[in-house]
Amino acid sequence: MSGADKPSLPPLADLPVEDRPAPALKGIEAIREAWKRLPSRPGVYRMLGADGEVLYVGKAKSLKNRVGQYAQGRAHTNAVYRMLHQTVSLEVIVTQTETEALLLETNLIKRLKPRFNVLMRDDKSFPFIAIRTDHPIAALQKHRGAKSFKGKFYGPFASAGAVNRTLNTLQKAFLLRSCSDSTFSGRTRPCMLYQIKRCSGPCVNLVGEAEYAALVKDASDFLEGRSVELQDRLAVEMREAAEKLEFEHAARLRNRIRALASVRASQGINPSTFDEADVFALHCEGGQSCIQVFFFRAGQNWGNRAYFPRHGAEETPADILAAFIAQFYDEREPPKLILVNLEPADAELLEQALCVRADSKVEIRRPERGEKREIVDAALLNAREALGRRMAESGSVAKLLDGVAETFGLPQRPERIEVYDNSHIQGTNALGAMIVAGPDGFVKNQYRKFNMKTEEFGGDDFAMMKAMIRRRFARMLVERDDETPPPLAGEVVSDSEREGESPADASAAAPSVSFADSSPARGGALQDGGVDFSKEADESERETKFGAWPDLVLIDGGEGQLSAALEALEELGLKRRVVIAGIAKGVDRDAGRERFFIPGRAPFRLDEKSPVLYYLQRLRDEAHRFAIGAHRGKRKAGIAKNPLDEIGGVGPARKRALLDRFGSARGVSRAALAELEGVEGVNKELAKRIYDYFHDNKR
């Protein structure tokens, strides 16, 4: 069908209505009354409720035959029975062909969002990369929405983040401008992007038009899939420039090759058997479904996105996938090839409708072998994992905590779960982390960071975990010095035993503590456990700090880390009072294959689809995220730290004078005493102090 023959979709208000039953009729009777006057022609029907709500939109090759199936009133699913019971009227629209009916049905479903249809959620448009050619000097930019200007458009990309990352690399590689035309015309000197080598400066004629046009062509070649040929050509040019001793030009070409290679490396799967395709993989479980969509353009992977369509529990996977694909391309141009993990319902009809939409041939294929099958399987794995995590997140937290209690043998649902992880690089910038979770999710104002000194653990992960656990629970004992820890489930403690217990001995042996509070409300590190006992901190807040008793402690690690933590608890007399477990990464560090370690029990694993497992993975991942983030912050602060900052009497002005004279702190450390005395603002006494700092081991 040519573009001129495409069906025109009229406004909803102008759609013709063939017949309506009497308002007094309802349910099956209303359907039967309407059926009597329906034609045996293709079209779309709408079932309406008492208040005019559109309950369902469907298409049919023969309206009379399709609606007649509803009129029989038997062999329906429970969802259909509920829909028919609520129906009071039926409206139909006759079309010329079944293909037109499918296109119109899709359009109406997206506009009306009927309650009993399969609905695609998250319907926002996808971003593109555009090379604007409506100006003599082309611009490279992100674009979303109607293609209302002259240029080349590349996409779709799965997310704005994917576009931004690609744009960032393209700017490094091709130095194309990204500014607006008004900004471009108003420049009198190059902007910051030129200074950081992200633009060639065409606004002030720092690059010739011919050379800039060549950069635009190179960018187009890369985005159109000719990246390998482009990299090979750039490599030849780089060698030729080096042979001509044009090393600066050769270095620019080298950086461009590296930038292009980094884009392809970050894209993961890059197919060799096709250039353009969308991949749909559907996974259904527990009455819910997830569809992963992968975008491949110009032989490159341009990202993926997960969708969770709304549908009844009785819908078949084939129907769900067919409805989703039809709605997905209602306002988007489909590619030439669509790969699926299962054949959608009415696949041939769907192909015809997509051909009309694209005005070119579109093929829907379910590959059985080869690279295409591997890509579909990868998308299906992503769909399965995404649905599992969504089910875990959307499930009742209470049920998840009940599952945690059952898994770890707790007497009741845990109210406070603490998870511990640590991070360091060969013992440097060592930092431990504790996160807290409960019925209300993550309790971020109770997260804690433990600044560890190398002499405490000697670079040993196990010793570091032991020191961290000892710190945390020693502090708890100090804060709860008027209380006795509760017994474990099933443990009977006599009154005499209660009277004889005291944490004083354990707390007295506790090492000094240096904690940092992660709560942004406190704005920085706090000493002595990070607990603010100022007037603003009330009693209820104090009782929720280190004095709070955890119902479950999770250690990110295996038997070694767990044993180290148990040693710390035993030293404090708490080994039998704390429920503690280790969660170790699975074989090849695969999520879903974690092993759990509990004292007195053999290691075990949970079912890979268990919501409890997903919940525990989230806790572990949050602890890891917090530990890594804190470690990076500490490392960054350490990099910026200067030894001169530790010398009394050396303020910003004298520090600047010393660095100006000697170039660096190392240069200052090598300077003679007389040289230090010659620096402006440094007297003999201060010069001696600086000299002694570097030569007398910081006396």
pLDDT tens figures, 330-341: 878 888 899 999
For residue 507, the one-letter residue type is S
Closest CA to 544 of 602, 483, 479: 479
Q: Is the pLDDT of residue 227 over 80?
A: no
Model confidence pLDDT, tens digit, residues 377-400: 989 988 988 887 777 665 567 788
392 or 235, greater pLDDT = 235
Which residue type does 386 have?
A
What is the chain's mean pLDDT, rounded? 77
Q: What is the mean pLDDT of residues 310-330?
A: 87
**Number of other residues whose CB lies within 10 A of the CB of residue 48:** 19
Contact 670, 691 (CB under 8 A): no
Distance CA 31, CA 25 (A): 9
Compute how many other C-beta atoms are within 10 angstroms of the C-beta atom of residue 47. 25
Task: Describe the crossing of helices 347-358 and 98-112 by its angle, rounded to 10 degrees.
Answer: 80
Which of 307, 310, 314, 312 lies closest to 282, judged by CA? 307
| Bond prior to 411 in cis (omega within 30° of 0) | no
Q: Percentage of residues in the chain with pLDDT exceeding 70? A: 78
- Whether 552 shows a pLDDT value over 90: the answer reads yes
| Average pLDDT score over residue span 22-50 | 78
pLDDT: which is higher, 525 or 416: 416
How many CA atoms lie less than 13 Å away from 303 in the CB half-sphere?
Answer: 17
Task: Tell me the pLDDT tens digit for each residue of 51-63.
Answer: 788 899 998 888 8
**Under DSSP, is residue 93 helix (H, G, I), strand (E, B) or coil?**
strand
What contacts 259, CB < 8 A, 6 or more positions away? 169, 170, 172, 173
- Which domains can be identified in the chain, with CATH numbers? 3-112 (3.40.1440.10), 128-266 (no CATH), 310-394 (no CATH), 401-492+500-632 (3.30.420.340), 643-695 (1.10.150.20)
Window from 36-50, 98-112, 127-141, 257-271 with minimum mean pLDDT: 257-271
Strand order across the 363-365 sheet: 300-307, 288-297, 277-285, 337-340, 363-365
* Residue 370: predicted pLDDT: 87
Closest-CA residue to 127 (of 87, 104, 89, 160): 160
Measured between alpha carbons, how far is residue 470 from residues 386, 479, 534, 565, 572 in Å?
38, 14, 26, 8, 7
Strand ranges (DSSP E) for 439-571?
441-442, 448-451, 515-517, 552-556
pTM score: 0.49
- Give pLDDT, residue 2: 42
> Tell me, what's the pLDDT at 630?
73
Q: Which residues lie across from 90 on neighbouring strands?
A: 47
Give the model's pLDDT for residue 638.
59
Between residues 515 and 318, which one has the greater pLDDT?
Answer: 318
Virtual torsion, Cα 182, 184, 185, 191, nearest 10 deg = 120
Among 366-375, 617-626, 662-671, the least confident range:
662-671
Average pLDDT over residues 254-273: 67
Q: Is the pLDDT of residue 4 over 60?
A: no
Q: What's the whole-number mean pLDDT along residues 438-461?
A: 77
Closest CA to 597 of 635, 564, 569, 550: 564
